[in-house]
Each structure stands twice: as structure tokens, then as C-alpha cells.
Amino acid sequence: MKVVIVGGGSGIGLGVAREVLRRGGQAVIVGRSRTKLDAGVAELGGEAKGIQACEADITREEDVERLFARVGSFRHLVTTAADVTRAYQPVRELDLAGARSFIDSKFTSSLLLAKHAVKHIEVGGSFTLTGGIAAQRPAPRGALVAAVNGALEGLARALAVELAPLRVNLVSPGWVDTPIWDKLAGSAKAERFDAMARRLPVGRVGTPEDVAHAVLFLMENSFTTGSVLHVDGGHPLV
């Protein structure tokens, strides 16, 4: 089983790659940063264990075409990619260039992946997108993130209809301890995680492995398509 994981160099994507390898599959991790990809390969144990790293900017259609031409046929596609550098900003002070960067990295890229991957995915395969808790529980300064995550849920359902029998689903994580939070919260990360852990019914924030487990379910369950799988520790309840 070959799985292409866009955003696989770190965080949730790297967790998915680790789970694929643990189950005896092949993982192709994709990202814009060669340094991050090389670090991901090293963390997973080296290419001899069935890992391939491909550098590509998935907001550029020509890069997406080249990516799939290089990879060839595969079974499953997962995207966890998102550039959150300028995603959180108040609407009254909206930086349109920053907004477009986030939209392109998470939403437009998903469209491009769907467009060009479909002819390479094997029969019985799947495409799993990644949304997030912001679609249900938007935060202050998070209107853009909430809108994009909500749009991705609609996209997953639409693609499940249009691209059938290819299965298309979306995993929606809550607060997960990934490197993104180092950028979003900085030195306040531990304090914010502790506060959220006390609120959540499960008593902790998530790990990449929590979400990877859900992604593998969506890959392997052949009777699941057009679904949104929430992996959020009960966040909508509090």
C-alpha cells in the first residue's frame, strides 16, 4: 500500500506516515521544505524502510502535476498541509495577501490535488482532507480559519459524489500538539495547552498519533465516504 502524504514532513502528516510504515505500507511525504522533509525521513528511520520524500509547492499546479507524474500509481492520498503564518488576523485589519496565502495552502491546494491525483489513485483508494475544530468553534481573530475549514467539509462531500467510486473524507482535529503551535502560541504554548486540557472531557490535548489513527480508519474502511470524522477530545461540548 503506497500512501502519499502532503504535509508529511512534520506534525499530523508525519504521524500518518509513521502509522502507514508501522502497518507495512510505503509512505511518500510531500512538502515545500527540503530541510523539513529530510528531518522527517530521518525521524522515521530512513528511506530504506519504505519512505520517499518529494519536494513540491502544492499551491502551484505545475508542481502538483510533476509530483504525481513522479510518484506514479498509489492507493491513498492524505493532505494535512496549511500555511498558518498569517491565517489568524482580525477581519477589520484583514491582510488580503496573507489571507490568500492561507486559502491557497489549505483549500486551493486540495482542489489541485483532487484534479491531478484522481487518475493516479488505484481502484479502492481514497483521498483524506484535513479540516479543524475552528469550523465548529471559531476563535477570535479566526474567521478565515473557520471559513476555510468549513469550506473543506463541503468540498469533501462534493468530491465524494463527483469522484466516486474514489472515497473522499475529511478528518477534523481539535487542539493537537504539533509544531504549528510553536508559531501560534510561542512561549505561551504550555500554559494554553494546560488550560485547554482542563476544559476537555478527555483531560488532555491531542497528539499526531490520535489523528493518524483516524486517518487510517478513513483509508481502510471501504464503506466510508463523504464523512467528517471529528478527533477533538470533545471540544464542541465545552
- Does domain 2-179+208-231 match CATH 3.40.50.720? yes
What letter does residue 2 receive in the DSSP assignment?
E
Torsion angle of alpha carbons 132, 74, 26, 30, nearest 10°?
-50
What pLDDT digit, counting tens, does each position of 175-218 carry? 999 988 887 778 889 999 999 999 999 999 999 999 999 999 99
Integer Cα distance of 16 and 225 in angstroms: 19
Contact 43, 115 (CB under 8 A): no
117-173 pLDDT, tens per residue? 999 999 999 999 999 999 999 999 999 999 999 999 999 999 999 999 999 999 999
Each domain of the chain, given as residue ranges in start order, spans: 2-179+208-231
Rounded (10°) angle between helices 96-103 and 143-162: 30
**Segment (H or E) for 209:** helix 208-220
Q: Is the full-model pTM beyond 0.75? A: yes
